[in-house]
Amino acid sequence: MTKRAWWLVGLNILVPGSAQVLAGSRRAGRFGLGATLVLWVLVVVGIVMAIVARGTLISIFTNTIVLSVLVVALLFYAVLWLSLTLDTLRLIRLVRVAPSARGFVAGLSVVALALVSGTAAYGAVSVTAGIGLLDSVFAERASEPPIDGRYNILLLGGDAGPDRDGLRPDSISVASVDAETGEVVLLGVPRNLEQVPFSDGSPLYTRFPDGYDCGSNCLIDYLYSYATVFHPELYPDAEDQNSNPGIEAMRDAVEGVLGITLQYYVLIDMQGFADLIDALGGIDITVEDRVPIGANENLDGTHAEPVGYIEAGEQHMDGRRALAYARSRYATTDYARMERQRQVQEAILAQASPANVLTHFTDIARAGAQVVRTDIPKQMLSYFVQLGEKSQDHEVVSHDFVPPEIDPEDPDYELIRQTVQDLIAPKDEG
C-alpha cells in the first residue's frame, strides 16, 4: 500500500489527473488530464512566441481583457489542482500506509498542494495587480506617430516634499529614441533655466510672448506649479489626456528649449520612490562623495546640522536612505543633485530584473501605480518594450545643458537646439 501511495502522489505532482485515471474516478481524471494537457500546450506556445514573436506575446499580455481571462483561468486551475490533490489523498488511504512513511506521504502531498494550487493562486493575484497597474498608469488614447523617425519622451522626476506647494519637477530630461533601432539620446535640462521660450501654439505664449523672463522667480521648474495651482484653465483638456496642466506646461517649455516635439511624458514622483525601492529589495549605488542627511534649509538661508551621512563608496540603500540621497541639497549644487537623482533612477532599472520583479510583483505593482504617471497608451507598451530591448545593443548618448556650456541665467537657445539636432541626426547624415 505504501508503494501505491508514493506512485499516486508522484503522478499527481507530475501529471495532475493521472492518479484519478488509474485509481479513482476516471471521468474526473480525464477532465484533469485534459486541462493539464491544454495548459502544457499553452505554455509551450508561450515559450515559442517568446523566442520568435516576443512583440506579439507582449501585446497579448498587456491587454487587460486577456489578463482578466488569465486570472479566471489561473483560479480555475488552482481550484482544480486543489480538488485533485485532496482526492489523491483520499485514494492513498493514509491509514493503510506504513506508519513510518505516513508522515512523508502526507507532507509530500501538502508540498504538492502548495506548489500547484499555491502557484496558480499567486499567479492570479499577481496578474490582478498587473491589471491594476496598466489601468492606473497607462492611458486610453490614440497613439502618436514618430516624428523624423524618433519618439521624444519627456522624463520628469517630481518632488512633492512637505516644504513645497504641490509637486515640482527637480529632474527634467528627454529620451529621444530612434523608432527603428532603439538608439537613445538622453538630453538633460537644468531645472533653474531662465528666459524659457514658447512656440506661438502654446497657451503660455500668449502670457509670455518674449519668454518666461522675470529673473530667478521665473525658473523652468516653477511652470509646473504656475499651471497646476494658479492657471489650470490654460490646459482644460489635460486631465482627459491622462496628464495635468503642470505637465503640459513643462512639455511646452521643454519643446521650446530643445526645439523638438514631445509625443509622450513619464512623471516619476520622488516622494513615492521609497516604497518602490523597498518593494525591489533596495538598490545599489556607488556614492562619489559623502552626502549629508537631514540638513534642511532654514528660512534665513542657513542649514540645520546633518543627522547623519551617506558615506562614499558602494552602498546598498533602502527606500528611505535612497530618497535622502536623491534629495540632499546641503553643500552641493543643483547639477550634482540632478546627477544623484539620475543615479537612483538608473539603479532602480538595474534592480528590476525579471526574477526580482516576478518575486515581488504585487508589491512593485502597488508601489509603481503610486510612483509613475504617463500618457503613453497601453497599446504602445509592447512596442516600447521591444525598442527597449533593441536599445541594449547601443550605448546611450547623454548630454546635459549645464555650465560651462550653457549659462542657465542667460541661455543660448540657438546653441541648445543646434546641439540637439546634431545629437539626434541619423548617423549617415552626421
Digit-by-digit pLDDT tens for the chain (430 residues) are: 567 767 677 777 778 888 887 777 788 888 988 998 999 999 999 899 888 887 788 778 878 888 899 999 999 999 998 888 888 777 776 556 667 666 666 777 777 777 778 888 888 888 888 888 788 788 888 899 999 999 999 999 876 655 555 567 878 999 999 999 999 998 999 989 999 999 888 999 999 999 998 877 899 999 999 999 999 999 999 998 889 999 999 999 999 999 999 999 999 887 777 888 998 899 999 998 888 887 666 656 666 777 888 999 999 999 889 988 988 877 677 778 878 877 887 787 777 765 667 677 777 777 777 778 899 998 888 888 788 778 878 888 889 998 999 999 999 999 999 999 999 988 664 4
DSSP 177-202: EETTT--EEEEEE-TT--SB---TTS
Q: Which residues of 121-159 are buried (b: 16+ CB within 10 A; e: fewer)?
A: bebbebbbbbbbbbeebbbebeebeeeeebbbbbbbbbb
CA dist., res. 179 & res. 177, Å (int): 6
* Single pTM value for the model: 0.76
Measured between alpha carbons, how far is 234 from 244 in angstroms, rounded to an integer?
10
Other Cβ atoms closer than 10 A to 394: 12
Identify the pLDDT of residue 284. 93
Q: Read off φ and ψ for residue 107, nearest 5 degrees.
A: -65, -40
Tell me which amino acid residue 106 is.
A
Say which residues have a Cβ less than 8 Å from residue 6's Cβ, sequence separation at least 6.
101, 105
Q: Which three cell numbers stand for residue 407?
A: 549659462
Q: Which CATH architecture has domain 281-359?
A: 3-Layer(aba) Sandwich (3.40)
Q: What is the DSSP letter of 271?
A: G
Per DSSP bridges, beta strands 291-293 and 308-310 are antiparallel
Q: Using alpha carbons, select from 208, 221, 119 the residue that is nearest to residue 168.
A: 221
Instruction: Tally the residues of the chain.
Output: 430
Nearest to 170 by CA among 210, 121, 219: 219
Residue pair 325/310 in contact (Cβ under 8 Å)? The answer is yes
How far apart, in Å, are the Cα atoms of 309 and each of 292, 324, 342? Answer: 4, 10, 20
* CATH number of this structure's domain 145-268+376-430: 3.30.420.590
Identify the CA nearest to 188 among candidates 394, 389, 408, 384.
Answer: 408
- Give the start-to-end residue ranges of the domains of the chain: 2-137, 145-268+376-430, 281-359
The answer for residues whose C-beta is within 8 angstroms of residue 54's C-beta and 6 or more apart is 386, 389
Q: How high is the pLDDT of residue 429?
A: 45
End-to-end CA distance of the chain: 79
